[in-house]
């Protein structure tokens, strides 16, 4: 069994790993091998995680740092619409807001991506042409993940063919929770292959994983299978992106880079609605994974209503007074 060194190290200290399972080592690919490795990861102290995030969330942020944080958070937003009533017009409207979040201020940064269902990825791609804004599409029978692998892979290939350059997949939580780790691993590997050049974000749906230990194990399993990002939630299940969950995922990507040299991104999604929420997450990123992750390349917010609050707070810093909610467009 692969052992982690210093399992009692504090949250701010990276832990190293010797010879994790394939593809980074020669361990036989089996449920037993993955169980030995994943259950050998250090247990998460839930009380300690909650206490640490409470302390970090209480930090006071100076005005200049807040201005930087707001712009950084805006640049990290995956502006999202995932409703059954979505239309091409809905997506074009969202793309316009992604390009110019504040039409009255050209200095406002654009967002990182627009996230839609795969059948509308082509509309988003056309509307965002030449902007550098990514088109993310949810796939693999989002949000439940309840479909055959053949259907899931067809879903991914269709989204990529339509113009998505990022795929947000969901893992099979039933397989994970019953210990069928090899099934989960092989499915992520297959989706990674189906993505081609598109980046892969793996949604863990942490609200259904029950424990923080499972969040850590699922994060490692997704990264070992080739994820470019690990993502908390679909936004359809509560609880979603809590600070303790994000802390555990940030520790996982930090430790994974120390073990393998490969950097993986993190995307909290679901329930992040205010500037305070976003700033707290940025503090958590800096203090846990480090400043290397303070970039849209490595950290994203899955949100839509969050952007409006960021814009209102940005206008407050610029003008000295709050604008009404009618000063930002409705998503």
Catalytic positions, written as ranges: 168, 231, 267
Nearest to 203 by CA among 137, 126, 294: 137
| Listed residue (223, 272, 263, 294) closest to 65, CA to CA | 294
Strands (E), 120-228: 134-138, 166-170, 199-203
CA dist., res. 259 & res. 255, Å (int): 6
Rounded Cα distance between 188 and 182, Å, is 10
The conformational region for residue 141 under phi > 0 = left, psi -120 to 50 = alpha, else beta, is: left
Residues 6 or more apart from 214 whose CB is under 8 A from it? 176, 177
Tokens (6 digits) for 104: 């009255």
- Beta-carbon neighbour count of residue 303 at 10 Å? 29
**Reduced DSSP (H G I as helix, E B as strand, rest coil) percent helix, strand, coil of the chain, to 5:** 50, 10, 40
Residue 116 in tokens:
């839609």
């Amino acid at each position: 069994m692969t052992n982690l060194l210093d399992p009692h190290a504090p949250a701010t200290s990276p832990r190293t790993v010797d010879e994790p399972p394939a593809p980074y080592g020669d361990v036989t690919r089996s449920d037993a091998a993955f169980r030995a490795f994943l259950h050998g990861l250090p247990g998460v102290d839930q009380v300690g995680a909650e206490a640490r995030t409470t302390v970090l969330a209480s930090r006071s942020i100076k005005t200049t740092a807040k201005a930087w944080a707001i712009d950084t958070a805006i640049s990290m937003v995956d502006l999202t619409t995932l409703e059954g009533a979505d239309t091409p017009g809905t997506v074009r409207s969202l793309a316009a807001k992604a390009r110019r979040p504040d039409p009255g201020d050209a200095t406002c940064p654009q967002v990182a991506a627009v996230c839609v269902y795969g059948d509308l990825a082509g509309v988003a791609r056309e509307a965002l042409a030449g902007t550098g804004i990514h088109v993310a599409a949810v796939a693999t029978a989002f949000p439940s993940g309840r479909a055959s692998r053949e259907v899931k892979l067809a879903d991914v290939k269709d989204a990529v063919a339509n113009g998505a350059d990022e795929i947000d997949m969901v893992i099979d939580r039933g397989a994970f929770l019953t210990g069928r780790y090899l099934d989960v691993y092989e499915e992520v590997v297959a989706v990674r292959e189906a993505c081609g050049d598109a980046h892969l974000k793996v949604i863990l749906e942490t609200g259904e994983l029950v424990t923080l230990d499972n969040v850590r194990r699922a994060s490692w399993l997704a990264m070992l299978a080739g994820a470019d990002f690990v993502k908390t939630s679909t936004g359809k299940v509560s609880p979603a992106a809590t600070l303790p969950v994000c802390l555990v995922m940030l520790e996982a990507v930090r430790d994974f880079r120390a073990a393998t040299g490969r950097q993986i991104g993190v995307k909290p999604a679901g329930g992040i609605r205010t500037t305070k929420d976003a700033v707290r997450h940025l503090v958590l990123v800096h203090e846990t994974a480090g400043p290397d992750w303070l970039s849209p390349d490595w950290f994203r917010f899955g949100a839509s209503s969050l952007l409006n609050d960021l814009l209102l707070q940005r206008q407050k810093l610029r003008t000295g007074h709050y604008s009404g909610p009618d000063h930002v467009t409705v998503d």
